[in-house]
Amino acid sequence: MSLKSSIHSQNLPKHIAIIMDGNGRWAKEKGFLRVFGHENGTKSVSTTVESCAELGIENLTLYAFSTENWNRPKLEVKTLMQLLISSLKKEMNNLQKNSIRLNAIGNLEHLPERVRKELLHVIDKTKNNTHMTLTLALSYGSRDELVNATKQICDKVKNNIISVENI
């Protein structure tokens, strides 16, 4: 009996979120450049996405690049952005074949234009796919999320959309 056949689909979560962390440290421990770890991480991502789709997971969120990651060495950030572009191009056919819709959260305006352009292109091309939603968290951070949420609440109070008592 295969592992997949032993899994009861009703016991699977509808949403899985993964913080992608440790690829650079793994490579360094093996005596390689950090970039080697990031490149190998893309293979794990592809396998994870396909496995989740095959199992019937409805939503998969990958926390891929936090706001703190902008503080890494410029060459590493540039390489990560290039890996994102090449992965998006490479995985487009798999997303379509598996009817996976791509979504992105975070401050996408901070991404380099060529990255944002490719990301939005793939999001648009997969918008009608219905089997699974893959969300990439890019240039995200809890501090930014809290500040933005607070600003939205203040704006709603200011414009009498909600009262202070209803916060």
Which residues are identified as catalytic?
21, 69
Cα 126 to Cα 102: distance, rounded to the nearest angstrom? 6
Cα 22 to Cα 157: distance, rounded to the nearest angstrom? 42
- Look at the chain and count its residues: 167
Q: Please, which residues bridge with residue 132 across strands?
A: 100
Q: How many CB atoms lie within 10 A of CB 149?
A: 10
